[in-house]
Chain A
Amino acid sequence: MDDLDRRIINTLQEGFPLTARPFAAVAAGLGLDEADLLARLRRLRADNVLTRFGPLFNAEALGGGLTLAAMAVPQERFAAVADLVNAHPEVAHNYAREHRLNMWFVVATERPEQVRPVLEAIAADSGLPVYDMPKLEEFSLSLRFEA
């Protein structure tokens, strides 16, 4: 990753134009041409420097369900339980964390009532308690990282 990659990542976190040739517009602002920008973006995606490029949907505003859940998973079962959790397509993110509650995952569903069955299935299949920690209020969501 070079300085130009960093500028591209920083610029594209600010937003992306809703116009017919958006990459050409962004490229012009960065002083490069459309094909170069696209080539770099494809590489950044392929290398997983960018996990996504596109619209970030708000699951709740779309009428969906969303929660954060946590589990205390014994170390010797960690990989197997991670596979079991990740196998649910509704699990959007899953992070290992350094705590007794060592697995934290986000469940996003099309409708709010679909969250609970996912958590219940994970609890039943793993034999472990699942702590449901839905968001009660959101104070900030900046989602921006300086590259």
Chain B
Amino acid sequence: MTTPPFDEIDRRIVLATQEGLPLVPAPYAEVARQVGIDEAELLERLRRMQGDGRIRRIGAVPNHYALGYRFNGMTVWDVPDARARALGRAVGALPFVSHCYLRPRHPPDWPYTLFAMVHGRDRDTALAHVEAIARLLGADDLGHQVLFSSRILKKTGLRLSGGHGA
């Protein structure tokens, strides 16, 4: 079992913070009160979750549209399977790629496996990023597309239902 220990208190911490931290001077004291533990224990558990990767980070998540990033392209690439991991690492290391993943194909409709998100305040900047990825992949680019997002239909954090224990 590789899943880190996740007990009922951790679960209550996730439930209490998944909508965000309260914007008050002592937010952790407030969350600790809701969870029913003291603040020191809450801070220790949050540190542990951050250390083992259950929390990626604590901070602000901007709406990138509101910051002017109107051109958000999901670039998708058909690359040779044998080279996909090495290529994914190279593309993921590019400074303008925010997310990079390998995903399964759905032939014949969807031959693309390597996904890389690029963003720009104008379309040309975003397309220049796509060109840079294409140059990096060279002959390993067997075909690609850019899917610009036209609208956010929903965006929330991770949701645990409050109903029952795991």
Contact = CB atoms under 8 A, between A and B. Distances in A.
A53 B92 contact: no
Contacts of A58: 53-56
Contact of A49 (B43, B63, B102, B154): B63
12 contacts: A15-B59, A45-B20, A52-B19, A52-B157, A54-B18, A54-B19, A55-B46, A95-B152, A133-B104, A141-B99, A142-B97, A145-B98
Interface in A42-73: 42, 45, 47-59, 61-64, 68, 70
Nearest to B148: A98
Interface of B: 3-4, 6, 14, 17-21, 23-29, 39, 43, 46-47, 49-50, 52-64, 66-67, 69, 74, 85, 88-89, 91-93, 97-104, 106, 109-110, 119, 145, 147-161, 166
Q: Tell me the dominant secondary structure on chain A's binding face.
A: mixed
A50 B85 contact: no
B136 to A, nearest CB: 13
Contact of B66 (A47, A92, A132): A47
A136 B58 contact: no
Contacts of A126: none
Contact of A103 (B56, B106, B153): B153
Given A58-B53, A145-B119, A91 B100 contact: no
